[in-house]
Structure formats: C-alpha cells, structure tokens
Structure 1
Amino acid sequence: MRLIGRDEPFGLLRDAIKQGGLVLLTGESGIGKTTLLDAVLAQARQDGALVTAGSCWSSSGETWPQLLRALPGVPEIAGLGALASSLADIARQQPLVIALDDLDHADSETLEVLGFLARHTRFERVTLLCACPDSPLPSARGRVVPLSGLGLEHVRELMAQVSGEEPDAELAAGIHRRSGGNPFFVEELTRLWQTTGSTTAITPAVRQTVRSWLARLPEPVVRVLSAASVLGREFHCDVLSPLVGDPVPRIQRRLDAALGLLVCDVDGRYSFAHGVVRDTLYEGLDEDEVCRLHAAAVDAYERIPGRAGGRFPSEVAHHAYFAGTALERARVLKYLLAASRDPGRRLAPEERIRHYRRALELVDDPHTRVKVTLDLVHELQLTGATGQAWPMFHEAAALARDLDDPELLARAALTLYRGPGGDGVMLAEAHTRLFGETSGQSAAMDLAGRIAEQIAGLARSKGDDEALGFGLSARHDVIWGLGTAAERERLAGELAAVARRTADAEMEQYAADLRWVALLELGDPTYVDHMNRFVALAESSHGPRASAVAIADRSIVAALTGRFAEAEALLDELRTQPHPAFMAHHLRWALLLQQGRFDELARFHETVAQDYPFPRLIEAITAVQSGDCSVATRYLADRPELPRMLIPLWLRLQAQVAVAANDPELRRQARAELRPYEGLWLVSLYGGDISGPVAIWLATLDAAEGDWDAAVSGFREAQRCADVLGAVPWSLEARTGLAEALLATKDLDAGLALLDEVEREATRIGMPHLVDRVGRIRAAQRKPDAEFRNTGEVWELSLGGLTIHMPDAKGLRDLHTLLSASGEPVPAQRLLSVGPLPGADEVLDETAKASYARRLAELDAVIERATELGEEDRAVAADREREALLDQLRAATGFAGRTRRLNDEAERARKTVTARIRDTLRKLDARHPELARHLRESVVTGASCSYQPKEQLRWRL
C-alpha cells in the first residue's frame, strides 16, 4: 500500500539522511510512524546506504547487539568510543543508517548509547533515525520531524484504499472528525463501517489505544476530560467548571496537561483532537453520572450570560434531553421546542426535525401534541420529506377531530394547503367547523384566506401570541400575489410585533424578510431599512438557512440598484450555502438579463432545465428581450398554467411580446391585465424576481400604439418610481423609453440629451445592450428613405414622397417582419407564429402521444375527485385543460387520426404566407405602385422568406 498524505515528511527524512546525525520522527500512536519509517529506509537502501533497523520492544540490553550484528566489522562487545570509531569507518565507505522504532519503550542503556553516538558521529555520514511519540533525549542535538493527522482529502483517499470504494463526502468528513486524521483510527473505523454500517461505534483496538493514552495522564486530568466529553467535541471552560466543581484556572491547568489530546483555539475554546477520545471517555461514564452531568450542563448554560439565552439553544436542548429524569419533563420540553423554533447558530433542518421528534416523545397534552406534530410536518415539507410528513399529518388531523377543536383542525388544513402541491382537500371541512356554515363553491385560496384570518382574529381576542403568529404567517402565504402587498406589509408588521413580544428570533427574521419585499412592491423606499434589518438578524443568528436567504436578498437588491459586480460576487457565495438550486439559478438568470449578457444566457439555458421548474418561461423572456419574438409567441400561445408566484413575470412577458409582435389584440389584453396594478412593482418568486415598475410596461404599450403623449407621461412615472427606490437599471430603461417618446413628439433636444445621459450611465454600470439600443435610436433619427409602420390603427407607408394609409392586414405584418430582418431569411412558419420546424418528422412522436394520454388520464381522475368533493371550480379548470389537449391532438392529426407530418405544416405555411404577401402587393399596385414594385422585386417568398433589395433603403419601421 502506497503512502498517503506523507509526501512532505518523506522528503524531509530523505534529506535528513543525506545530511546525517540524529533524526527523530515523532507523533502519536497509530499516526503512521512505522509505515513512514519503513518507506524511508527502503528508499535509503535504493540510494546506496547501509541500513540496519530494530525496535525497542526487545528485551533489556538486546537492542544494540541486534542492530550491530547486521554491520560488518563491528565487535559486539566494545566500549562506546570503539563503537563510534567502527561506525565512522563504515560510514566512510558508504552512508550508514541506524533506525530505532518505538524509542519511547527503550531502556536507559539503549538511550545512553544512542545519546553518545549522536554526539560523537554527528560529523560522519551516520544517521540515527528514531521513531517515538516525543523526544526522550532532550539534551541531544537532533532534527525533529513531527507527524500530524491526515487532512480530509487524504482521509477519504485512505478510506477508498481500505474499503475498495469511494466514500461520500459526508461519511469521509465524519471519519475525519472522529479519527483526527490518525491513519490507524481511519483504517479501523472504515473497516467497522464497511462490516456493520456504523459510523459511531469504536473498535476494541481503537479503544485500547485511547485508554493507553489516558492511562499516562493524572487522575484529576482524566476526570475533567470525562466531564468535558459530555459537552461534546468542543467546549468552553466556563461551562465545564460547574460540571466538575473546580474554578476555571485550575481546569485550564489540567486541560493543558492533555494538550496532545486536546486543541485550544485563540478564543480559549477547547476541542478533542480525535472524536474517538471523546467517545471513549463518554462511554466510560455510568448512566447516573451521564444524566447528572447533562443536567449540570443545562444549569451551566442557563447561568452563564449569552450561552443558553440566545446563542446555544440547540446545545441546551441536547443536554436537557439526555439528562433524563435529572430534569423535570416540562422543562426538557420547553428547551426542545425553543431549539426547534430557533434559527440557531448552526442549526440545520435535520436538527430542527430531531428536536421536534424528541419533543413529541415528551408531550402529554393532546392539544400541544397536535401543534407540535403540525410544526414537524411543516419542517418535513420544507425538506422535501413528504413521505414522512403525510402519515404524521393524518395523525394530527385525526387527533384534532377527536378533540373536537375547530381551531386545531383549521391549523391542520392550512398546514396541508401551504405545503407542496397546495392540497386544499381539508379546507371545506375546516371552514364548516370553524364558521358553523358550509363553504359553498368557494375556491381553495379564498377558503384558506378566511380560515387564516379567523385564526388570527380568535388569537388576538384570547391573547394567544403563538396562534396569532401562525394565523398571520398563514394569511400572508395564502394571499401572496400581485396587488396584495399593502395587506402583506400590515401582516408582516404585526408578525414582527408578536415576535418581539415572545422573543422569537426566527419569527422576527421571517417578518422582516416578508416586509421588505411587500414595501418594495409598493414602491416604498423604506424597504431597504427592513431588508438591512433582516440581514442583521440573519447574520447575528448564524443560522445556515437564514444566512443563505440574507445572501440571496443582498444580491437581489445589489442587482436592483445597479451594483452588478457585488450581486455576482454574492451569487458566487450563495453556491456554497444551503439554498434551493432553482432560486440560485433564477437570480443568476435575472442578473445576466439585466445586463444584456445574451451569449452567456444562451449557455445558461442549455444547462439549467434539469434544476429549474419553469425553463420555458425564462427562455421566452430572454428570447423576446434579445429580439427573437417567435419563441415567446409560441410559449404565450400554449397558455401554460403557472403558480401565482410567477404571474408578474407572465405579465411582463405578455407586454413584451405584444409590442415585439406588433399585435394590437395582445396589447389590449396586456394593458387590461396590467392596469389594476398601476403604481406597483412586478415582484415574483416572493421577492426573488423584480421585473420593474408596472408603469414602464404600460408606457411601452403606449409607445407601441403610437400614443406618444401617454408614453412620455408613463415613462416619466416609471423613471420616478425607479429613482425613488434607487433602481438605477430600471431608471435607465425608463429614460431610454422616454427619450424615444420625446423624439417621436419632435422634442429633439430633450430626447437627444437624455440619450447622452443614458449612454454615459449605462456604460458606467455595465449595460452594453442599452448602449447599443441608444445607438439604434440615434440612427433612426436620420431622415428615412421610406416608412412602413403601424400607427396603432392603420399602417403608414411612404416611398418617393408618396404616403398612404392602409388598414391592418396579415400580409402587411409579414412584410414588416421581413423589412425588420433585412437580408435575413425568415421561415414562413415563424410568420405564422408556428416557429421553425424542420423536415418531415411527425408533429407528434409516440412519446408525445403517450404523454398526452397520461395527462388526459390524470385530468379524468382530477375531474372525478373534484366533482365528488363539490369543488366545481377545480373540476371546470381541469375540464378546460382536457378540452385544450384534445384540440391540440386534433390539430396534430390528419383525416381519421393519421399523424400529420411537419412537412405538411411547412407547406401550409409557405402557401399561406405567399398568398398573404401577394394579396397585399396587389392592393399596393393601385394605391402605391412604386412601393409595390420595389417590394415585388426585393421580397422572396417560399419556405423561407426574405427582403433582399438591390439598393439598401433606410426604413422607418
């Protein structure tokens, strides 16, 4: 087996042998001294040295005779001076290496000889290489090469060598902590894991080694270490002191005597260098002593300021649980619930879940049991463990029914509804029990909102802050969506007040996070104060979940305010945090989009689909923003069913496509759906996406309609909204639109000055796509040779001094698209908004047909279940989706259900577009012959169409 992780000490020993003299290889038992010594001696032989080696485990007086027998010309019985001379004579012929292992077991005679030879051969080519835990020759001049534990990666490599398989990172980290990197311990623990699957047990050989270390220490030191083992791998002397009844200075002196087994950091915190030492000490305590010490630890944390009060609730809960009967049951339950609901210094979701499970072991009151079980269900839902959550939920719901408690039943229904999938199956029952009346045909969201509001109202009247906190947060989650920000801000404010009354740090963090998002959506600049408040709370808690959210929030605001480099650095940091992958991907996409980094976005979209649940939505927005309307048009036509948290993104996309596609009906629809939210910001994903003020999209629609006065007013309002929040990128977008609108109203000086301003600032913060847009707007100000533009009601067409107006027609739209892509081929299918589809493949392959069949079967089941439950809205929605799928299947099949082929679609597109363009040109022949002639000569129709003029014209489009 090759050496692992010992390249540096191997090199040091090899160099030392070349120099000669006394060399001491030191390190604890099992650290690999013998293995390294053997490897170094083998290398010395290959390098031409004469090597003799032995061990000090031999009988007294036998060590040196055994070593000297291997050397030619050295008498066994000789004085020390003669011995040194003989060794020097040999060394003059070839380098001599004398190796002694286990020097700590050497007798005094052996050490005396070694010391003499070290002093009298140090100028010869004689190397005395010895291995021992510590140097037994303090007066001898020698070189010391210490061996320490292996690093994590080398531990993982050694585990793979021992077990024959690559261990996962978590297992390797656990073995590394317990072994301290000691190779012997690593090998023993790895074999134990391989044979038993245990990662906590200790082998007899490891236990024996640890006990031999402890046997060398004074009894008072071992007693202190045993008490420290109860505190865990790391501990502070101020907590340990009450456990052993000794003052801190005396404890520190005793711990210093064991510094080989302990490590002390600069803050005075001690830790066991090997987890197995702590484990061996802990298992040596009897059960009563374990309980006593854990109970004493709880009291110690309670008495020491800053320990149990805020920094270490999880540690206190751990000690309380293992104190057993040494602490009152109610007190233990209090600590467990406090820890499970606290953000914690390092509290991970699995720790919260463990505390909740332990709390359930101790809960006697059935009402409390329902609440704790539902809290555990919610935590399991957050971690994706829905399989574990579901039976526990049913247990809680059944107990709530048995208790005949409408509020508990309502809490159960809301917990289920707020989980993955938004299952509202219990809401009608809970509503009836809570209000004493049936729910009728109310939608699930409305029922959930009323139930949450009622829970909060009842809690206020009873002064029950715990129930009030639940009701407020549930109401917030249920109503979340565009247009509810004012109520959500009020709910978050009340939730923060409850948190402060109850000293609930996690709730206060949660409320601050909700509040800044609601304020931003309202366009309130104080949002930043609440965001900073949340970040401060999250960082002070050191909780991994809160810290990750704080990093994400800071990146969102940095991007919003144009600090792009800072936002990118924070997103890089977020990669190392426990944060949902899809959210991190979305933030990365939004940042790239804001900066117009379309080449990077193309690569991003190629890789993100597997970790992002709505890839087509963001692909469509990227496409339309970069000038490709076809992808976005197809996506809009599919009318995908999106969750409420994404509706603002959908409204943004709809407005962008309406403008890019020059579609009057879609513009009307986009305006109607945006208008109710004037004055607000489009915020999606609970604050994870900020798509600008609603004003900017309404103004963009006005500009597309040619209503330039309304556009000027709208863009000014959008700029005001952005400037109030310090949202520099959106302010630049608004000012660009405003400049374009001013130019259209012939206010050239103001428009051009604004373009200069945008260009400077966009260059400064890093929005090159906006700089390019400014250049295109300037270029368009030159007098065009011809016009072909939609004024909103009619098409205005000009060439050679003649201007005519024509009503809207599809052929005119086709020609406008071709003029906009001068010189570029445009597939006829894109002109039909079907998109470029190649060749003669089937429109639907067998896989697609199977997918349709599966979804239709699912919808049939949904309709049947919803009908049985009286959920008419749900049944109608599912039936609409079913009919839409059937329409798509009919469209994709020919006569008698024969699968249509894509060349059928391409041919249909070619014929339709060609006919539309020819019809428009025939009408132009009578109204504008010169324009008709130019277009007939320049436009090529077919499967791909294009505008290919012999002489380029500057068009105003």
Structure 2
Amino acid sequence: MVSPVFVGRDDALAALAGAWQTAVGAPAVALVAGEAGIGKSRLVTEFEHALDLPVRMVRGACAEFGGEGLAYAPFVAVLRRLVREGAAAAGRYRELARWFPELGEVPEAQPGEQRPLSGKHRLYEEVLALVEEVAAARPVVVAVEDLHWADAASRELFAFLARNLTQPGVLLLATYRLGGAGAGQLGPLLSELARGPRTTTLRLPRLTEGHVGLQLAAILGTAPDAATVHRVHRRSDGNPLFVEALAHGDSHTPDSLRELLLRAPRALPSPARLLLSLVSAGGDFVTHRLLESVADESGPELDALLRPLVDQGLLVTADDGYGFRHALIRQAVYEDLLPGERIRLHTRYAEALRDSDAYAELAAHTYAAGDHERALAFAYRAAHRARRSYAYDEQRRMLERVLDLWDRVRDPSAALGTGPSGTGPFDIGPLDSGPRGADLVGVLTEAAEACMFSGDYRRGIDHATAGLAAVDERRAPERAALLLEHRGRLRHRLGGTGNADFDHALRLLPDDVGNVLRGRVLGVMAMGLLPDADAARWAFDEALRIGRHTGDATVTVRGLLGTGARDGDLGALAEARGLAERLDSHDLLLTVPMYEAMVHTRTGEHRRGVDAALDGLRRARRSGLGLSRGADLACYAAHGLILTGRWDEATALLDEALAEDPPPAARQHLRRLVGRLALCRGDVAAAATAASGPADALRSTGLLQHYQLVCLLAVAQGDPEEADRVLGRTLADPWFTRVPSSEARSVLVTGALVQEARLDADSNGPTAQQAEDRRTELALLDAGLPEYGRLDRARRSHLHALLRGGGWQQAVSAWRELGQPYHLAQCLLRAGRSALAAGDLTGGSAQFEEAAELADSLGAAPLSRRIALAAGQAPASHGAPPARPAEGADAPGTAHGTARLTAREHEVLLLIAEGLSNRQIAGRLHISPSTAGVHVSHILAKLGASTRTRAAAIAHRQGWTAAAPPE
C-alpha cells in the first residue's frame, strides 16, 4: 500500500527546487542518493508534479538485467521523448537512429549527400545538441533513475552531458543506490559531478518514528496507536518501502523482506498475478506494445488487469510502458517464479522480439528460455553492436556468453550464421582488426581484445591462452601470432612481460618487410621493452621500416612512437598522432598522449605533459577505455601534477582513478604516487599504507620508483639503515642499468638523501664510513650515466650538490627553470644554510623566506618544519642568537615583546611549528577549522610574522617550542 501523502521529504523537495532555480540560469546537476526502498523514485515523481509549466521532465531508467546493465538503456526513453519534443528538428538528428534503432529507421542518404563520420563523439554531440535545442524552446529536466545499474557507456554519456551542456533551463537529475551491486562503479562519475559548481547532492535519510507514524496514518486512513508505530518503525528501520510492506502486518508478519514484498502480489487475483509475473520477466521496464504482444490479454482486457497493479503501486506507468515501483519488488516476484514458468515467459518475450534488433535483450531472453542456439547468435550480434558503441565491457560479457554456450550447441559456427567468409544471416561486417571468423578461435581472439580495451587483463590472458590451445599454429600461423600478440600485450599491461609471446609470434611469421602482422608484433614488442631503449631500438626501427614499406598506418604509428620516445623527437610524435587520428583504433590513438607526456616530462615541459595526459584521459573515458589506457594516462597526469606543485588536483585525480579499480600495474603506480604525496605532506601512516603490499605488478621504472618510496618512508620512520638496505637492492636490480638516465639518476638522488640521514644519525661511528663509501658508489654510478634533457640535468645538479655539499645555487636555478616548486624549496633550504655558513645573513634569510612560501603553499609539512627550524637557528643580528626568555619574563610576543600569546595560542603555535594545516590543528585541538584560522591570524599579528613558517622560525629561535610559556 502506497502512502497517498509524501512524508518526511520537504527538505529534499526544497533542495531539488533550489537545483532547478540554479538550472534556470545555467545548466545544473542534481544527484539523489539513498538505499533501496528509501523513496528516490517517489521523490522524483513528486518533484515532477511540483514543477511549474512549461517545464517538462523526461525520464529514463537503468535496468538490472541478470546483473548486467544494457548499453545506453536509460537514454532510449529519454531520447524518444526528446525527439518528440523537438519533432521539427528531429530530421537533423537522424544519426541517432543508427545507435538507437528504437527511435526509428535511418533515412537514406540523398544523392550527392555526404554523411558525417560516425563515432562515439558523433553520438554524444547529437544527444547534446538535441537536449539543448529542446531546452531552448521549453525548459527540461532529464532524469536518469537507478544510475547504479548503468552500464559504462551510459555513465560516460551522462558525464559528457554534465560537462558540456551550456543551454540554460536544463537540469540533469540522477538517482542512485548507496551500496549493493553497481554502486562501486559510480565512484569516479560521482566524484567528478560533485565537484561541479552547479551540482546539488542529496542523500535521503531513513524516516524518523514520527514520520513513520504519518506514513502509516496516510496508508491506513486512521492514526495508528503508538505501539504500532514503534513496532513498524523498529522493524522497518525507517525505510518507506518496508513501512508499506509492514503497514497491515501483525506480530506474525514474516521477517524475510522477500516475503514482505510478495505479500501484495500473492494476494492478487490469478490473472493479475500472472500478468505481474510476466512483467517481472521483461525487466524493469516493458513497453505497452511489447507487453500486449506477450500477454494473453489485449486491449481493454489488458488495461483492466493493469489498472489494479498500478493503483496498488506495484507497477508505475512511465512514458509508453510499465515498470515496477521498486526493483526489490520486481526481483522478489521474478524469483518466486517456478523454473518452468520462467522458461515459458522468457520464450514469449523472445518470440515477440525475434524480428527486432534488440540483440542484448534477445540474448538474455533466449538464454533464460533455454534456447541456446539462438542465445549464442544474439549474444554475438550484441557483442559487435557493443563494440561499435565503444561499450567494451558489454562486448566482453556478450562474447563470454557466446563462449559459455559454445559447447551446448551442436554446430555453434552454423548457429552464428557466419563463417570465415563473413556470410550468413547474422553477418555484421568485417572486424576492425584480426582474422575474420566465427569459429572458437575467432571468438576467443575477439574476447581477448575486448578485455584489453575494458581493462580486464587477467581475463583477457585466459581467453588468449584458450585460443592458442584451440588453434593449430602450423596451419594458421598468423592467427596464432595475433593471439600471441594479444596475450603479450595483456601480460605487459598486467605488469609482467610479454616478450616470450612476442618472440614466439615472430618465429611464426616470415622475416619479410612486407608482412604487416610482423610489423605490428614488432611495434608492441618494442613498447613492452621500454624503458630499456637499447633493447627496444631495433624493434622500433624495424616496425617503422615495415610500416613505411607497406603503408600500414598502425605499424607506422608504433614505429614513430618509439622514435619519438627514444630521441625526444616531437615531430615524430606529431606525425604519429596525425596518422592515429585517421584510424579506427582508439587504443592506439590514446597511446600517443602517453608517449607525449613521457617525452615532455623528460625534457622538463611538465605542463605540456600534464595537458597531453589529461586530454588523453578525457578521450579515454569518452571512448570506453577509462580502465585500460585511461588508467595509464591518469598515472602520467598525476605525476606531472605533483611535479608542477598542483597537489590538490593530483590528489583528486588519484582518488578518482583508484576508485575505478584499475588494473594491478596502474593501481600500484597510482598508489605509489599517493604514497609519495603523503610523505611530502607528512602523513607517514598513509604513505606506509600506500607502500605496503606486493610490488609484483610493477616493472622497470615503476619498480624503481616503488623502491624509492620505500627508502624515503624508512627515513621518515627513523630507520635510515633499512633505507640503505633497500637502496642496495635497488642499485643491484637489473632494471637499474636499463632505464633512462633521468630515472636512474632519480634513484641516485634518493640514495644521497638516505646517506645524509645516516650521517645525521651517526656522524662519527662505523656507519659514517659506510655512508661515505655508498656516496662514492653513487658518484661513480652517476659518472657512467649520460644526460638526457632538462629534467635529468636538474637531477644531476641536485645529486652533485648533495654529494659535494655545495653548488646549491646551480640546483636552485635548474629547478626554478623547470617550475618544480617542491624540489626548488628543498634546494633553497640548503642554499640558505650555505649562505648563512658563508656569513651572508641577508641572502640566507631570503632563501629561507622563498622556500617557506613554496612549502607552505604546497602543504609540505615536513619541509616547512625543516625550513622553520633552519630559519630559527639563524642569527638574529651580528651572529649572536637572542637569549631565551627568563623565568617570569614576557611570554612570546612581537619582536619587541609587547604582546603576549594566550595559552591556547601557544598550543596553536606549537602545532604551526610542526607544520600542521588549520584543519589538522583543528582536529588535534578538537576545535573548528575556522577557529583554528582565527588563532593563527592572531599569532601572526602578535609575532609580526608574514607567514606561518616565519612564525614557526621565531618559535624555534626563541626556544618556545621546548616548553610552555611562563605564566
């Protein structure tokens, strides 16, 4: 029984009204979150009723269909309504019908007319243009319900609209479930949307006992007694759906939610109950036309059966069909069906849809009906449609459905209706790459490639391995070579090495400059050999030679990428980008910005590297490659953001990328960057967490950088000897001598810092001599390395200054030129110390001041503390430090000692000296951040200090950090 009164959601409705007022001036987003049954859909309905004319709401829902969301499912209903709204201009959006056949037939091209290039960007742009054109004529709310069940493609389209809408009068509204299946996949999207300046986020709470009483009164028509309200509230825990189920219950009401949800359906007359079961087998939404074609009744008889289901709130009407008021109800009704009933109902749907092109739905229904032969054929067609829509994860799922059914069908190749020639009733044209064939090897090859694009590398390796077991490499060497290439790439991306597979593939192919497949294998092999440039050189050169000879753009691009990375040749990378943009291979196209970011970083063009990586990341997410190439690009972008001092942006990007659950190698790289940032900010515990766990997913440069993090973490934890042991293993790692000099030299800089920590801990004992010996080893290793670009030059200057104890101005100049604030602040600190040691008090103070400003702006707490300590130890004048205040003298104050600090202000000053931020101070003292900020402002004013670091320096110099101020 549904409450006729909407209870307990006045604040939520007001918030949505506020979101709409925001949308009147500029497009806005509203997100409504809550647990299952909390009333998200009811809130949207009530909001729709509250909208003033001429505002129009168009709604679409994401369907949970056997645990798999269907590509673009929520936008089909939305687009159908929008096309009707913009009927006068609908002809201009005819390309949408290519993607959504439900919208109608695609008009034939007129003589001489050139169709625009198709692609995912075209789809998104047409949807965007249609929404804006409709909104220009009449304000619109686009509501997508149950976003937690959305497939990756639908999530990407929703994000694209949120980013790119400019027309006022558009509100994007989404509901999603907290927890449960699919919720984890929403993390990156929700994080991105929540940062928008015009985003309203609501989380619907459970109802209070008072609200439950109001809901029960509305349902029952009379106020219930207090005991009943208390009992229902306790058992429902304030969930409105459970309250409805418990409204007419008594002490014998079943505890099982499923039983509660089935109470009303089981009380229906038999015809209505059968109809409800039929709707449950159709998914969360069934059009009236489809329902009429599968039901026993039609016309007025069907309407008569539907009316009580709608009136009782079991079904709701939406657009031109019906859906369950809540997914839990549909699930309970469906699970209550007997096996034979399910088969019969799914058979009806399959027969009703047999002449349509709803392949994914047909695959699901025929599979559930036990019609394996047709399920296999429809799943195969659905996989290819998903590939064309860049919905690679759905493609993988559909192909795995094909593989699951392969041995259950007598002649699976015949069932697919296509052989190696690509003929038959289910033919959908040639694949974009690889040998054409609908045999088992062909499907496994496609599945391995789909896993590569979706980021599920382990599963892809399994499919490639199965394909290799099924292929006869003597009769079909090229098919075997392609599978080996796929498996080698998958192993490389997983964090291992695919060299054995690449070598095997090359042995199967003729050593012929005209063999394109050989060129492709050489290209990916060379990429896998990086960053060992010497080992990769021959393979890249040979790939480029084959590419130029055959004119194959894919091979040429791979060869050009190697040349560009090896020689820092931006012209080669630009040529590679131009060729890749003309190919229908987003994976290869998105490899280009990875190499651009790599080269820009090594040459010191960090901002250009960040721009290239971020642009590639946006493309990856639009192209369905967010978990494969996108994860790698996130690593490059975050690294560049850290180098350029954009730490908050880096943190947000790292959190977002890790929330997507990237493949192991990318996840380890991202965690290492999180750990390095945490260490710079003084959060040793977070750094230790990030550095924990096996590093077996890392290789080459990534492994060496992991070792560096572990070294620096050990130093921060006060164990420089453990740091040196890790350093020894790092220097002995075979990869150390094979990575580019700039990466190797970064390890040497870390090693020099470790030796400095060892000498600080034991400057006269046996450790001191061991540290000096290690410093000599580091210097010898550095002498054997070439110098590659400005970044490498800056690292060399830094290393030499650490080893020699001088030359800091040269290091300062190098880091300043590169615009790397953290390393610049480190070197300014040391340059300031050197200036003071030489008697240059003015120069030393200036260096400390600049270093302090940089460290404070970054939030580099440990570095800020070291700078404050060094500045506090500097002579105040004429080389004589001021005396510490005597017992009973004035407490800390200005330079003239006229203004006292309160006891609380002294506490805050101690924490400032530790390098804590206002928020951290607030947490330590259990006060609000704003109160902490007020204290800091008072302290700076009383001390006459322009920065927090200067205040800390005064505290250190006066000795106030050692004891409480005198009373």
**TM-score normalized with structure 1 length:** 0.46
Structure with greater contact order relative to length (CA < 8 Å, sep ≥ 6): 2
Bigger CA radius of gyration = 1
